[in-house]
Amino acid sequence: MAILEVKGINKTFDDTLVLKDISFVLEENQVLAIIGSSGGGKTTLLRCLNFLETPEEGEMWIHDKKIFDGLENKTLSEAQIRENRLHFGLVFQSFNLFPQYTALGNVMLARQLEAKSKPDYGKNKKEIEAAIEKQAKELLTQMGLEDRMDNYPHQLSGGQCQRVAIARALAMSPDILCFDEPTSALDPELTGEVLRVIKELSERDNTMIIVTHEMAFAREVADKIIFMDDGRIVEEGPPEQIFENPKSERLQEFLQSMITV
């Protein structure tokens, strides 16, 4: 059964449609790669999934639960939106780490705040804090950052920052982890270490949506590719089909341009 179903999303900015009738499904443990030239609406789509933008129309379903409906959206409370949003995680292009927290602090913060707002926190404070710290340390170790946990973001390389950001997103145990061009803010020699951890995650039964310009990477990790252009899904299918047998002219042009650069 599909973990995510997106139906007929329309999103406008200042009267221009930037997402046009976006619909797709994603199965559990699948990796979806979204490709396409810039300005095509890829970032906006991820932002809609993470409730940072509100589509005017369309629906989003997680398993059998409707988490977004363009018609009913205004009636949702902030707390409900927050709960729905936690089905997703988002790794930003520019990391957006919190500069005043260490790597470990960045990974723990949201969990700590969540725990503090619960009534049983006072009684079990020690155990709760210890569990949060244990989880954060495991995640950072998984990201290969066991000796960087106490460093502040400005003391880390771009690749290390992005790996902290991935650990931070994983800490909330999202059903679907989204990446918005996770390596395009990095120096070329640092992209490998980030792509490697994302690939590892894909092998560990994580459901992910990855917007990327790394075509070889998309082909390698994705179970499914969506090609977006001008706010539309122009073509979708398994990687072999998209890369070896592109049907639309736009996709053929796009793949051609990716080779020549």
Partner 1 sequence: MQTFMEQLPTVIGALNVGFLQTLKLFVVTLLGAVPLGLIIAFGAMSKVKILKVLCRGLIWIIRGTPLMIQLLIIYFFPGLVLANNVWGGGETGRFIAACVAFIVNYACYFAEIYRGGIQSVPVGQEEAGMVLGMTRRQIFFNVTLLQMIKRIVPPMSNEILTLVKDTSLARIIAMQEIIWAGQAFMKGSQGISGAIWPLFFTAIYYLIFNGILTVLLRKLEEKLEFFQ
Stretch that binds Mg ion, among 5-13, 43-51, 130-138, 243-251 (CB under 5 A): 43-51
**Vertex 84: Cα angle to 182 and 32 (nearest 5):** 35
Q: What is the dihedral of CA 226, 227, 233, 235, to 10 degrees?
A: -80
Classify 235 in phi/psi space as left (phi over 0), alpha (psi -120 to 50) or beta. Answer: beta
Q: Choose among Mg ion, ligand ADP, partner 1, none what residue 24 binds, the Cβ cut-off being 5 to 8 Å by kind.
A: none
Find tokens 């459901």 and name the residue: 207
Task: Give least dist CB 43 to Mg ion, A.
Answer: 3
Binding mask 21-60 for ligand ADP (x = CB under 6 A): ---------------x-xxxxxxx----------------
Q: Is 43 in the site for Mg ion (CB under 5 A)?
A: yes
> Would you tell me which residues interact with partner 1 (CB under 8 A)?
50-52, 78, 82-83, 85-86, 88-90, 92, 94, 96-100, 109-110, 113-114, 117, 152-154, 168-169, 171-172
Q: Choose among Mg ion, partner 1, ligand ADP, none what residue 75 binds, the Cβ cut-off being 5 to 8 Å by kind.
A: none
Q: Is 160 in the site for Mg ion (CB under 5 A)?
A: no
Q: Choose among Mg ion, partner 1, ligand ADP, none what residue 145 binds, the Cβ cut-off being 5 to 8 Å by kind.
A: none
Q: Choose among Mg ion, ligand ADP, partner 1, none what residue 168 binds, the Cβ cut-off being 5 to 8 Å by kind.
A: partner 1
Burial category of 112 from C-beta neighbours within 10 Å (exposed 0-12, middle 13-18, buried 19 and up): middle
CA atoms within 13 A on the CB side of 221: 27
Q: Choose among ligand ADP, partner 1, Mg ion, none what residue 183 binds, the Cβ cut-off being 5 to 8 Å by kind.
A: none
Closer CB to partner 1, 86 or 255, in the complex: 86
What's the rounded Cα separation, in Å, for the pair 73 and 76? 6
What's the rounded Cα separation, in Å, for the pair 34 and 222? 9
Stretch that binds Mg ion, among 37-45, 133-141, 156-164, 253-261 (CB under 5 A): 37-45
DSSP 177-243: EEEESTTTTS-HHHHHHHHHHHHHHHHTT-EEEEE-S-HHHHHHH-SEEEEEETTEEEEEE-HHHHH
* Contact positions vs ligand ADP (CB under 6 A): 13-14, 18, 36, 38-44
